[in-house]
A and B are shown apart, each in its own frame.
Chain A
Amino acid sequence: MAAEREPPPLGDGKPADFEEQEDGEDLFTSTVTTLESIPSSPEPISLLTEDVSTNSNGPKPAEVVLEDDTEDLFAEATEEVSLDSPEREPIISSEPSPAVTPVTPTTLIAPRIESKSMSAPVIFDRSREEIEEEANGDIFDIEIGVSDPEKVGDGMNAYMAYRVTTKTSLSMFSKNEFSVKRRFSDFLGLHSKLANKYLHVGYIVPPAPEKSIVGMTKVKVGKEDLSSTEFVEKRRAALERYLQRTVKHPTLLQDPDLRQFLESSELPRAVNTQALSGAGILRMVNKAADAVNKMTIKMNESDAWFEEKQQQFENLDQQLRKLHANVEALVCHRKELSANTAAFAKSAAMLGNSEDHTALSRALSQLAEVEEKIDQLHQEQAFADFYMFSELLSDYIRLIAAVKGVFDHRMKCWQKWEDAQITLLKKRETEAKMMVANKPDKIQQAKNEIREEIEEVGQPLYYSK
């Protein structure tokens, strides 16, 4: 099934979008590329799951849409200038340059360098039908909204159910408008499925919002105070952004799991996402192991492009974090300010009451009213700051973490490749020895092992680029 899938249409919409920079659209194009496997040898692609698209044949160079060099890759949209929320273009994975044979690394590198421009979304050859689809103009015409958080159930088993509404004219969906009810663990389940399928191939899967045990417990217990409503609102907005990002990714959009998530009314409960489950603990152990590995692997970065990108991402990450911290501080102070203004307003009113000079008393009460209004304004501003600015920043910080994850994965693959090469070498040596010692069956065995090794060498090679 996998091999027949056509690559997703990268859409003519994409290049056009890049020109809309001046509006403050943010553009976060990833430049991690993936390599396709050669259709002729499907077995090594056992690592690839079914949904990865494979396509172009041999050395046919795909179209390269060269970006304007002046475009910034990691652009942010900030909200202070206008209160419109900008469109957030999610990560666009750029498909790699022509597929190569897995023989030598050098041929791999060469075509990559040819494609030169940093963010080069490559448009694949597509099948006839999909070109027609695009000609019909329903590219990325899909809107997702998350709304109506409702509390379902009671006590510790309660959860919030969100309504996911999809409006689309893409033909792959059965209807044009539909909505389903989902809960938070469903979202997490979707993310983990997508991550498993795509992460090691090098796509950047948008990260899901984090679990928050404290917040959820408050909601479950039924505390109807301001912080729990804020938490629900925060989560709802985050889920909406997450879905929108995921959908904008062309490859991910084709994924049947995503479709099932959006369409089917009943979804099998994703138990693995529970914080304290066995799978959760396994995940934590894996994470720790990964961290250790990262420190020990010293990758010989052969591609300068990657190195530069990594450096840039590091910088960006640091700065975003700082900015985010500052914005959080601003939000906090503003909330404080609004609380203090409210207190002052009350106090001024009381002062006005006790003042016997009537004009002054009136003046003071009016002052109190004005201060109340100011307080309202400050509150609104704080909310706006928070939802638009601060959350956006934290989203991007998480995205960068995902990008780093892909970089790390690449390193891991490279490591595996190295290891596989070494083993191959050893096996070859053993084979040579066997030949000298003239032991036919052992020779045969050695030959088999060599073949296996070659295959193993081949696979990581694909992903390391």
Chain B
Amino acid sequence: MKQKNLNHILHPHIRTVTELKAINVDLQSDAALQVDISDALSERDKVKFTVHTKSSLPNFKQNEFSVVRQHEEFIWLHDSFVENEDYAGYIIPPAPPRPDFDASREKLQKLGEGEGSMTKEEFTKMKQELEAEYLAIFKKTVAMHEVFLCRVAAHPILRKDLNFHVFLEYNQDLSVRGKNKKEKLEDFFKNMVKSADGVIVSGVKDVDDFFEHERTFLLEYHNRVKDASAKSDRMTRSHKSAADDYNRIGSSLYALGTQDSTDICKFFLKVSELFDKTRKIEARVSADEDLKLSDLLKYYLRESQAAKDLLYRRSRSLVDYENANKALDKARAKNKDVLQAETSQQLCCQKFEKISESAKQELIDFKTRRVAAFRKNLVELAELELKHAKVMS
């Protein structure tokens, strides 16, 4: 698999998107279809992404064009893939997570309330911090959406999807609304049914060794990735709060230091500076950890879930196939509706085989992608940590 890093001409404030995007390394870009998010605007509740496409495919009217899309439209696209029976045999790239600025909005509010109780320097420092945090979250969400699009564009089958083309090209609002309560409830029930079904289906032993092995592997892997991702999240969070504490200590020391201009006070000021520096580095370290490790794990959590879904669909179709077989036998025995049973059996058989074939390929791809992504990110993490260590010492 070729791994090319996309070099786009991005706006400077989203330059780091290329870094973040490289979580998923396998972005086979050829001139046929290149998709990226060239701009993003954050309004009060929503984020508007500018999706920019460069393509030489005939089905597009122009060679290069841009549209503005919102998060819900991405979700719509993803769901349309999931619901499409034809794509049952492929790993559907996981949907990007909702842009979540709640946490930092809360903090901003708290900061605003506590403004009276802090000194001016502290306040400006914390405000800067918060703004940086906000920016980081923003960049991340842009990157996630972009990764999704690039995965779709890189997939040989999915990129030909009509909905995808509409998504890329249609200039006006797709008038996709987020799911209202009723639909969400429906979704919830569907999920429940699906998981119950999944349990039943997973009891069936698979004929094919490859798939059997994959299944056990994926199950275990998924659970462990979930665990690791949660723990790494917690770790980065507490790292960040420790770094924040440095900030406060630094400013208290500074306040102590400015009391008098005696020797010990100069000492205080120096130590306060030291704390400031340390804090910056610690914050960087924790941000890097967050980026390389936590994000990686989170992404693969979602991917492995998608892979599991694929396997589920396959098992489902296998079960259907077997049921159809049984029905056929019964029908033959009773000698009625044989034709119907036959056709349904044929269908199931076809479906099953199609899925199996593509699933095999997909799973192998998944593994390669995963290994490459882990390798890249872990290497980068190590390099960054080394760099910071040098700065510290």
Q: Given A340-B234, A354-B221, A355-B221, check contact A363 B374 (CB 8 Å).
A: yes
Query: Is residue B252 contacting chain A, with contact meaning CB distance below 8 A?
Result: yes
Question: Beyond A81-B271, A334-B242, is A340–B217 a contact (Cβ under 8 Å)?
Answer: no
Nearest CB to that of B242 among chain A residues?
A333
- Of B235, B253, B374, chain A has the most CB atoms within 10 Å of the CB of B235
* Contact indicator A341/B375 (Cβ below 8 Å): no
Query: Which one, A201-209, A227-235, A280-288, A316-324, is touching chain B?
Result: A316-324
B383 to chain A, nearest CB (A): 14
- With contacts A76-B264, A330-B242 taken as known, whether A350 is within 8 angstroms of B259 at the C-beta atoms is no
Bound CA span A329–B252, Å: 13
Nearest-Cβ distance from residue A120 to partner chain B, whole angstroms: 16
A357 touches B245 (CB 8 A): no
Residue of B225, B238, B245 near A340 (CB, 8 A) is B238
Contact A316:B259 (CB < 8 A) given known A347-B224, A350-B224: yes
Cβ-defined contact, B271 with A72, below 8 A: no
From the candidates A21, A71, A78, name the one contacting B253 in the complex (CB within 8 A). Answer: A78
In chain A between 349 and 406, which residues have their CB closer than 8 angstroms to a CB of chain B? 350-351, 354-357, 359-360, 363-364, 367
Q: Is the CB of B378 within 8 A of A351?
A: no
Closest to B270 in A: A81
Number of residues on chain B facing chain A (CB within 8 A): 41
Contact with B along A17-43 (1 / 0, CB 8 A): 000011010110000000000000000
Among the listed B234, B245, B264, which residue makes an inter-chain contact with A343, where contact means beta carbons less than 8 Å apart?
B234
Q: Does A306 contact B (CB under 8 A)?
A: no
Q: Which chain B positions have C-beta within 8 A of A312? A: 259
The answer to whether B242 and A363 have CB atoms under 8 Å apart is no
- The 8 Å CB contact of A344, one of B232, B241, B248, is B232
Interface: B90 (CB within 8 A): no
B245 touches A333 (CB 8 A): yes
Partner of B264, one of A21, A319, A326: A21
CB of A341 within 8 A of CB of B235, answer yes
Determine whether the beta carbon of B378 is less than 8 Å from that of A343: no
CB neighbours (8 Å) of B239 from chain A are: 337
Residue on B nearest A363 in the bound complex, by CB: B378
Closest to B255 in A: A319
Q: Are A351 and B225 in contact (CB under 8 A)?
A: yes
Chain A residues positioned under 8 Å from B221 (CB to CB): 351, 354-355
Most chain A CB atoms below 10 A, which of B245, B246, B371? B245
Bound-complex Cα distance A24 to B263 (A): 9
C-alpha spacing A27/B232, complex, angstroms: 44
If A323-B249, A340-B234, A363-B378 touch, whether A72 touches B265 (CB-CB below 8 Å) is yes
B184 on the interface (CB 8 Å rule)? no
A80 interface residue (CB < 8 Å to B): yes
Chain B residues with Cβ below 8 Å from A360 are: 371, 374-375
Question: Is A80 a contact partner of B275 (Cβ separation < 8 A)?
Answer: yes
A27 near B264: Cβ-Cβ < 8 Å: yes
Q: Please provide the chain B residues from 245 to 286 with a CB less than 8 Å away from any CB of chain A in the complex.
A: 245-246, 248-249, 252-253, 255-256, 259-265, 267-268, 270-271, 274-275
Q: Is B194 an interface residue (CB 8 A)?
A: no
In-complex Cβ contact of A337 among B238, B260, B267 (8 A): B238
For the complex, is A293 an interface residue (Cβ under 8 Å from B)? no
> Is A270's CB within 8 Å of the partner chain B?
no
- Interface flags for B223-234 (1: CB within 8 Å of A; 0: not) read 011011001101
The reply to whether the CB of B387 lies closer than 8 angstroms to some CB of chain A is no
Interface: A327 (CB within 8 A): yes
CB distance from B223 to the nearest CB of A (A): 9
CB pair A354 B224 closer than 8 Å: yes
Taken together as a complex, chains A and B put the C-alpha atoms of A218 and B242 apart, in Å, by 29
Contact partner of A81 (CB less than 8 A), chosen from B220, B235, B241, B274, is B274
Interface: B367 (CB within 8 A): yes
- Chain B residues lying within 8 Å of A315, measured Cβ to Cβ, are 259
Query: With A322-B252, A337-B242, A360-B371 known to touch, is A354 a contact of B232 (CB < 8 Å)?
Result: no
Instruction: Tell me the nearest residue of chain A to B264, going by C-beta.
Output: A75
> Which chain A positions have C-beta within 8 A of B371?
357, 359-360
Given the known interface contacts A21-B263, A75-B262, the answer about A351 and B256 at a Cβ–Cβ threshold of 8 Å is no
Contact B263–A70 (Cβ < 8 Å):
yes
Do residues B262 and A78 form an inter-chain contact, with CB atoms below 8 A?
no
A336 within 8 A of B: yes
Q: Closest residue to B234 on the A side, CB-wise?
A: A340
Q: How far is the CA of A319 from the CA of B248 in the complex (A)?
A: 12
User: Does the CB pair A347–B271 fall under 8 Å?
Assistant: no
A329 to B244: give the CA distance in the assembly, Å: 10
Supplied contacts A21-B264, A330-B242, 13 more A-B pairs, CB within 8 Å:
A21-B263, A75-B262, A76-B268, A78-B253, A78-B271, A80-B271, A316-B259, A322-B255, A326-B252, A337-B239, A340-B234, A354-B224, A363-B374
Can you spell out 19 A-B residue pairs with CB atoms less than 8 angstroms apart?
A70-B261, A70-B263, A71-B263, A71-B264, A72-B262, A72-B264, A75-B264, A76-B264, A78-B267, A78-B271, A80-B274, A81-B274, A312-B259, A319-B255, A326-B252, A351-B224, A351-B228, A363-B375, A363-B378
